[in-house]
Amino acid sequence: MTDVLDVPDLDPGEWFGYAEEQGWSDGLPTVPPTEALVDAMLAAFPGDPPEFAPLPPARMIPRLRSVAANAVMAGCRPADLPVVVAALLGTTDPAYNLHGSLATTHPCAPMVLVSGPVRDQGFNSGGNCFGQGTRANAVVGRALSLVLRNVGGATPGVMDRSTQGSPAKYTFCFAEADSPFPPLHVQRGFGPEDSVVSVMAAEPPHNINDHGSRTGEEILVTIAGTMAESGSNNVYVRGPHLLVLGPEHADTLARDGWTVETIRERLWELARIPFDRISEGNHVQFDESGIKPEEDGYTVSDGLRQLHVCVAGGPGKHSAWIPSFGATELVSRVVPG
């Protein structure tokens, strides 16, 4: 998508069809990116435009105006643009592996986790934070996906070769909740006052239901069992994953004296995939890839440093495990402001 669109004067219904015909749509209705709306979006952006890296596969270098146009199309408010920009900058970090994550047959999508004071700008960190109903969550993740499609060229069935895809490809954005543990951005070296976006090429959340456990140790046993999934990319590509503790599980763990560090250490010990849950063909593939089993099974990644922990959600004894594409990293960027 160029910075300025030369399109006919269309009503909203006609625009929806026109955008779809041009290949600019994700299949949902979009807002026409008029000059007035794009200018209003840009007027609210703090500071100078950032320098963006080329976006694969097209290798186009986006300008802030084209990012703002896609943000308008997604339904963003002007205040959302800095969050979209931070997320886009994160995905263009080489560690994120944007080209690989866009071209893979894996169903990964760009996960956007909002931490720090900016989460108070309408982002949902509570009940149904992964779901529908909150504009900021919905439009920020969607804007990032539209930029990667319309500027980067990640068109489904052309460059995006995902075998089945996932609903997370429409939008995958949530905020971190108040926690008995240090928030994720503080764990990663940022200040508590910093507004930070963390991105990862990820699968949708996998629910962890544990209504029976009474102690933190018991909850970790359940979490480890969910993580020990033989079909995960994390097993053979050895990438990062994110544990999103529900507040009730987090409170139980904190009550029993667990910290982020000891949670990671215990899950690294417990999360083992038994040999009999790995097919013979995969045993051969793992061995050829240099992946060796431990005494009691295969590990779920290449070390506890790859397990990140945060808290989000509402009442209920549920948590979530978010595995990654594997060949990616969790990348964090400060929100311009």
Distance from C-alpha of 286 to C-alpha of 305, rounded to nearest angstrom:
21
The residues of the chain scoring below 50 in pLDDT are 1-2
Domain ranges within the chain, ordered by starting residue: 12-334
pLDDT in tens, 30-41: 999 999 999 999
Contacts of the segment 176-179: beta carbons below 8 A, 24+ positions apart: 176/113, 176/114, 176/115, 176/119, 176/125, 176/310, 176/311, 176/312, 177/125, 177/126, 177/129, 177/247, 177/311, 177/312, 177/313, 178/125, 178/247, 178/311, 179/245, 179/247, 179/250, 179/310, 179/311
Distance from C-alpha of 252 to C-alpha of 265, rounded to nearest angstrom:
17
- H and E: helices and strands count for the chain: 12, 10
What secondary structure, in 3-state letters, does 186-224 show? HHCCCCCCCCEEEEEEECCCEEEECCCCCCHHHHHHHHH
Nearest residue to 168 via CA among 198, 201, 197: 201
DSSP string, 233-272: HHHHH---EEEEE-HHHHHHHHHTT--HHHHHHHHHHH-E
Distance from C-alpha of 228 to C-alpha of 22, rounded to nearest angstrom:
43
Query: Which pLDDT score, from 0 to 100, does residue 116 have?
Result: 98
Residue 117: asked if its preceding bond is cis (omega within 30°), the reply is no
Distance from C-alpha of 327 to C-alpha of 210, rounded to nearest angstrom:
30
Query: Which pLDDT score, from 0 to 100, does residue 295 have?
Result: 81
Name beta bridge partners: 5. none
Name beta bridge partners: 311. 245
Query: Which pLDDT score, from 0 to 100, does residue 5 have?
Result: 57
Locus of tokens 């989000």: 312
180-190 as b/e: b if 16+ CB within 10 A: ebebbbbbbeb
Distance from C-alpha of 301 to C-alpha of 308, rounded to nearest angstrom:
12
Locus of tokens 């995006």: 160
